[in-house]
A = this chain, B = another copy of it.
Amino acid sequence: MINPKVIERLILYRRSLLMDGEARSGQIYSHEMAVLAGVSAPQVRRDVMAIGYSGSPITGYDRQALLRALGEMIDPPEPESVALVGVGDIGRGILHYFQGRRPRLAIAALFDKDPDKVNRVIHGCRSYPVEEIARVVPSLKIRVAIISVPGFAAQDVADRLVNAGVRGILNYAPIRLKLPEGIYIENRDVILSLEKIAYFARQT
């Protein structure tokens, strides 16, 4: 199993290759990829090795073949649905921003506690009360969720999601969720990030 930092770099490599319009086909060397992605060349070689793709000492890597190998690692084999819980400011922002950007990854269900926000279609997406997580999440085979509810509600929501089959969570709520082993989580607390950045901006 590949670790999170490696996966992140693999995603960056793919983007770099796709955005490097100059030469979508042809060959590319590790040091060129390194410049594009902002990492070191040996790092690129190690990462490429990790996905089982190999290049040639003479011609480097084949762009198209490398993109295929990256896609096989990164992309879900079939389109995947994501749940978004909490249709507040942050949640709505993410929903609007995200929809339609990744064909194989789409927000397929919204959940909220507010009766005014449920049983509607928001930005092309059906919204349900949180009590329906247990029913809707398994029926849509959802395994990834975004939590953007207030801190006090986040643990309850997380428990419901995990019980319903979710295995990965992107958490915007300002608390550290307690989750069973094997659930992958990333915390994206905006206020914490800004406090941290402000600290470092003050130094120097």
| Chain A positions near chain B (C-beta within 8 angstroms) | 1-2, 4, 7-8, 11-12, 15, 37-38, 73-74, 76, 80, 82, 88-98, 101-102, 105, 143-144, 146, 166-170, 174, 176, 178, 182, 184, 186, 188, 190-204
Contacts and interface: CB of A to CB of B under 8 A. Distances in A.
B201 A167 contact: yes
Q: Shortest 10 CB-CB distances between A and B: which pairs?
A: A93-B93, A168-B201, A184-B200, A89-B96, A168-B197, A167-B201, A89-B97, A143-B201, A89-B93, A90-B93
Report which residue of A73, A144, A167, A200 has the largest number of chain B beta carbons within 10 angstroms of its beta carbon. Answer: A200
B204 A167 contact: yes
Copy total for this chain: 2
Contacts of A174: 15
B144 A198 contact: yes
B190 A97 contact: yes
A201 B7 CA distance: 13
Contacts of A105: 191, 194-195, 198
Interface of A is mostly: helix
Given A89-B93, A193-B188, A203 B1 contact: yes
Given A38-B178, A91-B93, A186-B193, 6 more contacts: A12-B192, A88-B97, A102-B195, A105-B191, A167-B204, A168-B198
Contacts of A98: 190-191, 194
Contacts of A89: 92-97
B203 A11 contact: no
Given A89-B96, A94-B190, A170-B193, A200 B11 contact: no
A88 to B, nearest CB: 7
